[in-house]
Amino acid sequence: MPRSVHTLTIPSSTRYLEDVRRFIEQHATEANFPTKDVGELKIAVDEACANVIEHAYKGDQQHDIDVDVIVQPDRFTVRIRDRGESFDQSTYREPDIFDYSKSRKAGGFGVQIMRRLMDHVEYRKRGNCNECCLTKYR
């Protein structure tokens, strides 16, 4: 199977997360990934985009998010790009659910889900552009 690239650009609003999930589902299914992998890719990409909307763009809907799907024979990679505030991985600590429930916090689990479901998660900064690359191998 040759390498193929597909791109979707969405406004930075949670109302478009459903479109992102459909986009991932379509291409992962066409690339013959198992249903379980398709579901895991959908949620990991949803989490990455939701984090961009909430943290990189801080809820400002006047920006874009680029979602590129790169299909290769041995892997499915999704590259999510934004031009907002960068995510500093070094300060991230996985939340403890018991501490979280006691403090009545609602968020913070997205990165944990991405790391557990994907084979590889990488954050990069290229110029003024932040990239999050999520990879699942066959």
Partner 1 sequence: MSNFSVGFRTSGSVQVLELNGELDAHTASELEAAIQKCLDAKTVCIVVNGKNLQYISSAGLGVFMAFIEELREEEGDIKIAELQPRVFNVFDLLGFPMLFDIVESEADAVARFQTTNGDGA
By the criterion CB under 8 A, which residues form the site for partner 1? 14-15, 17-18, 21, 36, 39, 42-43, 46-47, 50, 53-54, 97-98, 100-102, 104-110, 112-113, 116-117
Least distance from C-beta 93 to partner 1, angstroms? 14
Least distance from C-beta 43 to partner 1, angstroms? 6
Asked whether 33 and 138 are in contact (CB, 8 A), the reply is yes
Least distance from C-beta 69 to partner 1, angstroms? 19
Query: Which of 21/63 has CB closer to partner 1?
Result: 21
Query: Which of 51/130 has CB closer to partner 1?
Result: 51
Query: Which of 7/61 has CB closer to partner 1?
Result: 61
